[in-house]
Amino acid sequence: MLQVQKSGAATGAVRATKRRATVKMSSRTSVSKRILVNWQLYLLILIPFVYVAVFKYIPMFGLVMAFEHFSPVQGIAGSKWVGMANFQRFFNSYDFWKVLKNTLQLSIYNLAVGFPAPILLALSLNYIRNNRFKKLVQMTTYAPHFISVVVIAGLLVQLLSPSGIVNHMIAALGGKPIDFMTQPQYFKSIFVFSGVWQSAGYGSIIYLAALAGIDQQLYEAAMIDGASKLRQIWHIDLPGILPTVVILLIMNVGQIMNIGFQKVLLLQNPLNMDASEVIDTYVYKVGIISGLPQFSYATAIGLFNSIIGLILIVIVNQIAKKVNETSLW
């Protein structure tokens, strides 16, 4: 009797194994059929995956240079391993505190002024009832986004030069001309507010889309209750776009150490270097255009920059998850 039960149990186990194998085979077959039927869609999905793998993940192998004394002749595999020496050299250098301070000051200033600007613009545009005027404002504010950074920098240099239109206006009002581009105390404000002018309109698009998704019955109920425009903004608009604001804030904080290499470099000159030298420009000068390029040193600085950004985005994401239950992951 015991042998019969054992044989029955064994037979049941074999049948269950076969059943699982059959289910796996059928699922694989169904997946392969879906891929064959919709191969165009899967090809479109494959393109961004290949792009990310080739240009984002494979180059990470080059981060090994940060821990080596890299020699182009010997290559990454043959270069001498030095461990944390490049990081220690950067932390002990004379320029460390200067470039770190300038990067953080410029980034925080840009975040504090530049992040709310698209939100305020979107809220203002949302309450414009004249469609022609609304489209005119949108076109006017969107257009600067499509101007090259090189052109923007050239315009700023010309407008703010001693013979530029800004100084002509100052002189006409009885003031003395100021060479803004050579004064370190003006650099951060020039950089930040020119960035707001260039990007606020384009950045407001996503907030306008979020505002368009708010139920219009909420506005009708608010108007029946006698709520003013400010009350509607505070109690309807801001809560409605809050998840979008939180997500974009997390992403912006993650980029706080990458202030914008091109524009800083184009506006930089020897006289405003005390305020304009940031980590990105420092890496460029040390790693590429110096008399003796220091690839390992520049890679270590860039890796340090990326690690700080990663830590910041993780911290802000966790805070947002606890406070507002909205996060990237």
> Over 70: is that where the pLDDT of 291 sits?
no
Does one domain contain both 64 and 124? no
Does one domain contain both 27 and 71? no
Residue 302 in domain: yes
Does one domain contain both 233 and 105? yes
Owner of token pair 């050579």: 182
Owner of token pair 């911290």: 315
Does one domain contain both 221 and 261? yes
Residue 303 in domain: yes
Residue 151 in domain: yes
Tens of pLDDT, residues 264-284: 999 999 899 999 999 989 988
Does one domain contain both 100 and 20? no
Quote the pLDDT of residue 144. Answer: 92
Task: Report the percentage of the chain scoring pLDDT > 90.
Answer: 37
* Lowest mean per-residue pLDDT among 98-107, 198-207, 297-306, 314-323: 314-323
- Place 3 in a pLDDT band, splitting at 50, 70 and 90: very low
- Place 5 in a pLDDT band, splitting at 50, 70 and 90: very low
> Over 60: is that where the pLDDT of 319 sits?
yes
Handedness of CA 88, 89, 93, 97 (dihedral sign): negative
Quote the pLDDT of residue 67. Answer: 93
Structural domain containing residue 28: 1-37
Question: CB–CB of 296/69 below 8 Å?
Answer: yes
> Over 50: is that where the pLDDT of 23 sits?
no
Kindly report the CATH number assigned to the domain that includes residue 261: 1.10.3720.10
> Over 50: is that where the pLDDT of 297 sits?
yes
Boundary residue ending a domain (24, 59, 83): 83
Which has the closest alpha carbon to 189: 105, 282, 117, 270?
Answer: 105
Does one domain contain both 33 and 44? no
Distance CA 125, CA 129 (A): 9
Q: Which residue has the higher pLDDT, 9 or 273?
A: 273
Six-digit token pair at 120?
Answer: 């305020």
Boundary residue ending a domain (48, 83, 118): 83
Which residues, at least 6 apart from 324, have a Cβ–Cβ distance to it below 8 Å?
A: 242, 243, 246
Does one domain contain both 281 and 185? yes
Question: CB–CB of 195/110 below 8 Å?
Answer: yes
Does one domain contain both 242 and 98? yes
Boundary residue ending a domain (29, 63, 83): 83
Q: Name the domain count of the chain.
A: 3
Residue 266 in domain: yes
Does one domain contain both 60 and 192? no
Does one domain contain both 63 and 77? yes
Question: CB–CB of 204/194 below 8 Å?
Answer: no
- Place 20 in a pLDDT band, splitting at 50, 70 and 90: low
Tens of pLDDT, residues 140-173: 999 999 999 999 999 999 999 888 899 999 999 8
Residue 329 in domain: no
Burial class (CB in 10 A: 0-12, 13-18, 19+), 72: exposed
Does one domain contain both 11 and 46? no
Does one domain contain both 16 and 57? no
Q: 3-class SS at 86?
A: helix
pTM of the model: 0.81
- Place 50 in a pLDDT band, splitting at 50, 70 and 90: very high
Residue 148 in domain: yes
